[in-house]
Amino acid sequence: MAKENWGRWGPEDEAGTLNLITPDKVTAAAGLVSVGRVLSLAQPLSSATPMARHRHGFAHFMDRDGGDYAAGGKRPGGFQFAEDTIMMPVHTGTHIDALCHAWYDDRLYNEFSGDSIRSTKGGQFCGIDKMPPLFTRGILLDAVAQRGEVFPPGETITLNILKAALSATGREIEPGDVVLIRTGWLESHIGRTGVSLDTEPGIDVEGAEWLAESGVAALGADNFAIETIPFPAGAVFPVHQRLIRDYGMPLLEGLVLAPLAKAGAKSFLFSAAPIPIVGGTGSPLAPIAVL
Amino acid sequence: MAKENWGRWGPEDEAGTLNLITPDKVTAAAGLVSVGRVLSLAQPLSSATPMARHRHGFAHFMDRDGGDYAAGGKRPGGFQFAEDTIMMPVHTGTHIDALCHAWYDDRLYNEFSGDSIRSTKGGQFCGIDKMPPLFTRGILLDAVAQRGEVFPPGETITLNILKAALSATGREIEPGDVVLIRTGWLESHIGRTGVSLDTEPGIDVEGAEWLAESGVAALGADNFAIETIPFPAGAVFPVHQRLIRDYGMPLLEGLVLAPLAKAGAKSFLFSAAPIPIVGGTGSPLAPIAVL
Amino acid sequence: MAKENWGRWGPEDEAGTLNLITPDKVTAAAGLVSVGRVLSLAQPLSSATPMARHRHGFAHFMDRDGGDYAAGGKRPGGFQFAEDTIMMPVHTGTHIDALCHAWYDDRLYNEFSGDSIRSTKGGQFCGIDKMPPLFTRGILLDAVAQRGEVFPPGETITLNILKAALSATGREIEPGDVVLIRTGWLESHIGRTGVSLDTEPGIDVEGAEWLAESGVAALGADNFAIETIPFPAGAVFPVHQRLIRDYGMPLLEGLVLAPLAKAGAKSFLFSAAPIPIVGGTGSPLAPIAVL
Amino acid sequence: MAKENWGRWGPEDEAGTLNLITPDKVTAAAGLVSVGRVLSLAQPLSSATPMARHRHGFAHFMDRDGGDYAAGGKRPGGFQFAEDTIMMPVHTGTHIDALCHAWYDDRLYNEFSGDSIRSTKGGQFCGIDKMPPLFTRGILLDAVAQRGEVFPPGETITLNILKAALSATGREIEPGDVVLIRTGWLESHIGRTGVSLDTEPGIDVEGAEWLAESGVAALGADNFAIETIPFPAGAVFPVHQRLIRDYGMPLLEGLVLAPLAKAGAKSFLFSAAPIPIVGGTGSPLAPIAVL
């Protein structure tokens, strides 16, 4: 059964709501830069980065380093260098979900078959390599400011809270915006070990649908999965199902938003470009907000 | 012995020439956006991405995919998902070199000791996690247009060619600019297998020093190592030694520049943010040019 | 359709022809040891190990090494240590194929479903973790000695050659034996780079069936895939299909056999135990022959 | 300063106490086989295998599996196959320590320099690729039987307990024997999650020296590091320092010994061969005992 945005940008579209970021939107977003301050929204990546239990850990291997020279390594022409290899699940730390990351009824966004995602080649459709860069207006919905404290794990940031947070910005959501929701989860867990990824504060389907219908191009948050965990009874990742699969909207997870809130940012230029891993279901991301 | 930019931004500086990207520079760069066109400068990443022979290949593993559901995998609450893990040398495809990537005489940029880079923790100083985002004016020096054809491997893009290419843009290099040099290497090797990484066209030390003294914040190219290979007799990566270690300038390699040239871009907003791998000697990168 | 050995050891059997290695066979094999010479049949594993092109390379990462101490690493209580991590396709170098490695018509050995092998858990049936150790009599069929030279890539070691080689040993194949075939491939490729894995000398289906019907428990060779490549017209790995899937016989590939031949070994104690990777389709192996 | 076994087998020796496994010893060990029962002493390897916290987890990736065919994958010539890649620290599950794994005063066994172990090539001396196969008599010292229960973490299996356990076997340790100590640790932790690797029962230096002076060729146990943890005050892995570095004796860790004890085994043929990872500090191992 066709869903909200299926076919909206043609039967072969693999970019989904990012189509809402038009050239006019890009130009207008650039015009938001006023003080020239660039804020990184990316978590540092290391083996200490919080990681879902079922995933492999982040691994960082030095293929050559200063120690090798200290131990007598040769330096032809005086040259010394260090290099390294990483192994990581793509859904680690600050990252973006590709449209082939989540689905139901064996159909991805825009009716692509789930069978098109295989061990041998990853996602043939809706992979992260099909996702254009995000360069648009960002709006920060500061749920923490609304509540006066960070949201505790398991608590839902309801539609009313989202609306109140939007109202506090003095802006309206316009098509093509990236909306970032500060739940307080990440800032309250930094430096803590043994973080539980079985529970987190987040939005629900009602809020998600309101955002999608408002024309949001991509939705981000400072938690690890956008939506409240535990899920409502009988549901499993219902926001992922609705936004990624039905609306074709990418999700940005694990964003560092506290400094943005502290800077008083309400709307700003948001820029982020996924690493084009062919067939990838997502990508590590280093988004920026430019004030 | 102190080098050109050592101490220039204080004895503890780990950002090098990226300090030249001031708030004013950021604001001015945003002002360059006129038509709202966003061009990705990143290569797709797969096991087919050209890779130096001494490095491990790019590996993409599906931890869960559509095939698992086709074979009978459960879908609690209807939810289906796919996810993956990558393994890659950080200096793969389109990437940026951190300031701890190259040095000589056991001293990194700003006199940090080479001994600070170890297997156990990577680069404690000048790692990619210390590098701020790049958001500034980009200038394309189209050496291919100067020559009328792509440069053959081994050929040097001399200072005179760089100057002529700059002249063709009608711009002057100003402090904080990112300069991108199109050699034609990548576009002439796409789709070819068994690419030799023992030879490439690139710049020499004379050109590098001129760029550095002109205030370039970061230097990029569409080849795999910025500089001509083979090296001049007796030298090994001399441009890396001078720019990264003496000037504290990051290098961007493996950029996709042909579309930018085709679009007639001369100066533009350039935006790229490294993935903050703690202690990493570089990062995969997905830079954009915004016209 | 049931195949030769399906059901022979019960409907739940996952060990196949290794069931032929009975306690009596084990005891008799131990009795073959006479001079107490132990020969390793395993290739050294490194990034130089010949590897099929479609597979990831062998990677060896030092997590801590002597260089780290040379660069100033601490040594609490005087203790210094080094450790490392490997990444490797299990079908690398000297290895053994599990019974879930190859099949056709969606059915593995003993009628297990191909659907039971998934990204999320590997092979639920016939994985390498289900394979018992191999401790039995080994017989070396020295095809090189028969021919007077190593077999060239693409050439078939026919049934007649196998029979002649067996005759030269003065032994008969008895149930539970491990048979090792020396083609000369590995010894003629050691130290060579860019080895083609598109062609090799090996056996054909006729020879394979004769060995299986003779009661061979496991079949090994010094090439990378037991059978002749290129395959006969219309067939793809027909020996794998017959032996692994229809007979339930594990294959041992990449064995180092020249020293065994040089030692004049004809029959001997053969011992090898796979690493029990849960759900693995094979395992690196370090088999020994004891004379 | 020269240590006990330095120079004993020549200045270039990298095999240490494994030199004690002479041809006569091999032949005699084979003669121990009486009932033809083969017991595997290897733990299954999966992400559930207990792992020291500072190490990367075991990762198992399916490069191709049955799901890919269920999703429509092609099967040229009818052929279907599955294959996989593993990533693992070599000191995982059941494994053996190479002689380059542990040292002090910058000198390895036999005076090799610690500087010879580097990121770029692993251990140039005393790597696991230099270690011959182990095929010799094994003796099980069942400390659990002595105590009447598994040893609790942190408790030392003293020299007296070792002697009593030996006495219970009715055997004497002879040069070239492999001695296996059952502490009960592994069997009491199987199936438990969040296993602490900060404490374990094990032997102390006094016991270690007695074993070494008795001519033990290699020492194994069912814990993860042979020796008691926590260590005596001021010491860090003192048994590793003495046995590996001073005596040149490899250690086998994470052995599955309960079934061997249950079988009433006292002395038996022990066979194990490391995977010859070039420059590796250890190897996963699948040892067997043959009764």
Query: B203-207, D54-58, D214-218: which range is least confident on average?
Result: D54-58
Distance, in Å, from the CA atom of C145 to the CA atom of C137, rounded to the nearest integer, reads 21
Q: Distance, in angstroms, between C211 CA and closest chain A CA?
A: 33
User: Per-residue DSSP letters for A89-142?
Assistant: ESSSSSEEE-TTSEEBTTB-GGG-BGGGEETTTEESSS-GGGPPPEEEEEEEEE
Instruction: Name the CA dihedral angle for C104, C110, C114, C117, rounded to a multiple of 10 degrees.
Output: -130
- Decide: helix, strand or coil at residue B81: strand
Residue in D118, D121, D124 to test binding to A, most A beta-carbons within 10 Å:
D118
Among all chains, which residue has been given the structure tokens 């191909």?
A: C114
Among residues D269, D282, D239, the alpha carbon closest in space to that of D94 is found at: D282
Among residues D60, D81, B46, the alpha carbon closest in space to that of C89 is found at: D60
Q: List residues bridging with A139 in a β-sheet.
A: A179, A267
Residue C1 has pLDDT above 70, yes or no: no
Query: Which residue of C47, C115, C119 is in closest CB contact with B64?
Result: C119
Query: Which residue of B56, B63, B119 is in closest CB contact with C57?
Result: B56
Q: Do D82 and C60 touch (CB under 8 A)?
A: no
Can you give the pLDDT at residue D256?
98
The angle formed by the CA atoms of residues A224, A229 and A230, to the nearest 5 degrees, is 155
Distance, in Å, from the CA atom of A201 to the CA atom of B180, rounded to the nearest integer, reads 43
Distance, in Å, from the CA atom of A123 to the CA atom of A98, rounded to the nearest integer, reads 10
| DSSP tag of C263 | T
pLDDT digits (tens, 9 = 90+) for C211-236: 999 999 999 999 999 999 999 999 99
Q: At what angle do helices A205-213 and A159-169 cross, to 10 degrees?
A: 40
Can you give the pLDDT at residue A192?
78
Q: What string of H, E and C letters represents the secondary structure of B224-263?
A: CCCECECCCCCCCCHHHHHHHHHCCCCEEECCCCHHHHHC
Reported pTM: 0.97
The angle formed by the CA atoms of residues C135, C138 and C139, to the nearest 5 degrees, is 170
Confidence of residue C197 (pLDDT cuts 50, 70, 90): confident
pLDDT digits (tens, 9 = 90+) for D121-149: 999 999 999 999 999 999 999 999 999 99
Can you give the pLDDT at residue B50?
86
Q: Report whether C50 contacts C187 (CB < 8 A).
A: no
pLDDT digits (tens, 9 = 90+) for A69-95: 999 999 999 999 999 999 999 999 999
Whole-number average pLDDT of chain C: 96
Q: List residues bridging with B140 in a β-sheet.
A: B180
Can you give the pLDDT at residue D192?
78
pLDDT digits (tens, 9 = 90+) for D53-90: 888 889 999 999 999 999 999 999 999 999 999 999 99
Q: Do D77 and C279 touch (CB under 8 A)?
A: no
Give backbone dihedrals phi and psi of B82, rounded to 5 degrees, phi first: -130, 145
Q: Do C82 and D133 touch (CB under 8 A)?
A: no
Q: How many residues does chain D have?
A: 291
Pairing mode of beta strands C218-221, C251-253: parallel
Instruction: Report the pLDDT averaged over residues B265-288.
Output: 98
Q: What share of chain A is helix, strand, coil (3-state, %, to 5)?
A: 25, 25, 50
Q: What percent of chain C has pLDDT over 90?
A: 93
What is chain C's Cα-based Rg? 20
Confidence of residue B52 (pLDDT cuts 50, 70, 90): confident
Q: For chain A, how many helices (H) and strands (E)?
A: 8, 17
Can you give the pLDDT at residue A2?
64
Distance, in Å, from the CA atom of C166 to the CA atom of C169, rounded to the nearest integer, reads 5
Q: What percent of chain A has pLDDT over 90?
A: 93
Chain C residues whose CB is inside 8 A of the D46 CB are 277-279
Instruction: Report the pLDDT averaged over residues D267-283.
Output: 98
Q: Which two tokens stand for residue A101?
A: 């990351």
Domain boundaries, chain C: 16-52+88-290
Residues 6+ apart with CB under 8 A from D190: none
Q: Do C273 and D284 touch (CB under 8 A)?
A: no
Distance, in Å, from the CA atom of B116 to the CA atom of C65, rounded to the nearest integer, reads 14
**Beta strands across the sheet bearing B288-290:** B38-40, B288-290, B267-272, B134-142, B178-182, B218-221, B251-253, B95-97, B282-284
Q: Report whether A128 contacts A280 (CB < 8 A).
A: yes
Q: Do D67 and B59 touch (CB under 8 A)?
A: no
Cβ–Cβ contact C85 with B under 8 A? no
Cis status, amide bond into B230, omega within 30 of 0: yes
Q: Do A68 and C67 touch (CB under 8 A)?
A: yes
How many Cα neighbours within 13 Å face the side chain of A284?
28
Q: At what angle do helices C205-213 and C159-169 cross, to 10 degrees?
A: 40
Residues 32-51 of B with CB under 8 A from C: 47
Residue A288 has pLDDT above 90, yes or no: yes
Cβ–Cβ contact D52 with B under 8 A? no
Instruction: Report the pLDDT averaged over residues A30-58.
Output: 93
Q: Do B68 and D67 touch (CB under 8 A)?
A: yes
- Chain A neighbors (3+ CB pairs < 8 Å): B, C, D
Distance, in Å, from the CA atom of B161 to the CA atom of B169, rounded to the nearest integer, reads 13
Q: Report whether D73 contacts A118 (CB < 8 A).
A: yes
Q: Do B118 and A67 touch (CB under 8 A)?
A: yes
Distance, in Å, from the CA atom of C65 to the CA atom of A66, rounded to the nearest integer, reads 12
Confidence of residue D190 (pLDDT cuts 50, 70, 90): confident
Q: Report whether A234 contacts A98 (CB < 8 A).
A: no
Instruction: Report the pLDDT averaged over residues B32-51.
Output: 95
pLDDT digits (tens, 9 = 90+) for A155-193: 999 999 999 999 999 999 999 999 999 999 999 987 777
Instruction: Name the CA dihedral angle for B31, B34, B38, B42, rounded to a multiple of 10 degrees.
Output: -60
Can you give the pLDDT at residue C86?
98
Residues 110-169 of D with CB under 8 A from C: 113-119, 122-123, 129, 132-133, 135
- Chain B neighbors (3+ CB pairs < 8 Å): A, C, D
Q: Distance, in angstroms, between D219 CA and closest chain A CA?
A: 30
Residues 220-279 of A with CB under 8 A from B: 231, 234-238, 240-241, 269, 271-279
Fold of D16-52+88-290: Glucose Oxidase; domain 1 (3.50.30)
Q: Report whether C174 contacts C137 (CB < 8 A).
A: yes
Q: What share of chain D is helix, strand, coil (3-state, %, to 5)?
A: 25, 25, 50
Can you give the pLDDT at residue C2?
65
| DSSP tag of C53 | T
Residue C133 has pLDDT above 70, yes or no: yes
Cβ–Cβ contact D86 with C under 8 A? yes
Can you give the pLDDT at residue B53?
82
- Decide: helix, strand or coil at residue C52: coil
Q: How many residues does chain A have?
A: 291
Q: At what angle do helices D205-213 and D159-169 cross, to 10 degrees?
A: 40
Q: Do C70 and A67 touch (CB under 8 A)?
A: yes
Residue A289 has pLDDT above 80, yes or no: yes
Distance, in Å, from the CA atom of A66 to the CA atom of A193, rounded to the nearest integer, reads 30
Distance, in Å, from the CA atom of B58 to the CA atom of B77, rounded to the nearest integer, reads 35
pLDDT digits (tens, 9 = 90+) for D223-244: 999 999 999 999 999 999 999 9
Q: Report whether C267 contacts C138 (CB < 8 A).
A: yes
Residue in A58, A65, A75 to test binding to C, most C beta-carbons within 10 Å:
A65
Can you give the pLDDT at residue D196?
85
Chain B residues whose CB is inside 8 A of the C64 CB are 119-120
Query: Which residue of A62, A115, A119 is in closest CB contact with D72?
Result: A115
Q: Which letter, b or e, does each residue of B271-288 get, where b requires 16 or more Cβ atoms within 10 Å of its Cβ? A: bbbbbbbbbbbbbbbbbb
Q: Which two tokens stand for residue D241?
A: 């320092």
Q: Which letter, b or e, does each residue of A94-124 get, where b requires 16 or more Cβ atoms within 10 Å of its Cβ? A: bbbbbbbbbbbeebbbbebbbbbbbbbbbbb
Query: B189-198, B282-291, D153-162: which range is least confident on average?
Result: B189-198
Q: Report whether A176 contacts A218 (CB < 8 A).
A: no
Can you give the pLDDT at residue A214?
98
Q: Do C90 and D113 touch (CB under 8 A)?
A: no
Q: How far does Cα A232 stand from its chain's mean position?
A: 22
Residue in D54, D55, D62 to test binding to B, most B beta-carbons within 10 Å:
D62
Distance, in Å, from the CA atom of C217 to the CA atom of C272, rounded to the nearest integer, reads 13
A130: left (phi over 0), alpha (psi -120 to 50) or beta: alpha
Confidence of residue D193 (pLDDT cuts 50, 70, 90): confident
Can you give the pLDDT at residue B2?
65
Q: Do A65 and C69 touch (CB under 8 A)?
A: no
Query: Which residue of B36, B114, B236 is in closest CB contact with A23?
Result: B36
Instruction: Report the pLDDT averaged over residues D1-20.
Output: 93
Can you give the pLDDT at residue B229?
97
Confidence of residue D2 (pLDDT cuts 50, 70, 90): low
Burial class (CB in 10 A: 0-12, 13-18, 19+), C210: middle
Q: Do A115 and D62 touch (CB under 8 A)?
A: no
Query: A14-28, A247-261, B183-197, D92-106: which range is least confident on average?
Result: B183-197
Q: Do A26 and B65 touch (CB under 8 A)?
A: no
Residue type, D124: Q
Pairing mode of beta strands D251-253, D218-221: parallel
Q: What percent of chain D has pLDDT over 90?
A: 93
D215: left (phi over 0), alpha (psi -120 to 50) or beta: left
- Compute the Cα dihedral for A242, A244, A248, A253 and give only its sign: positive
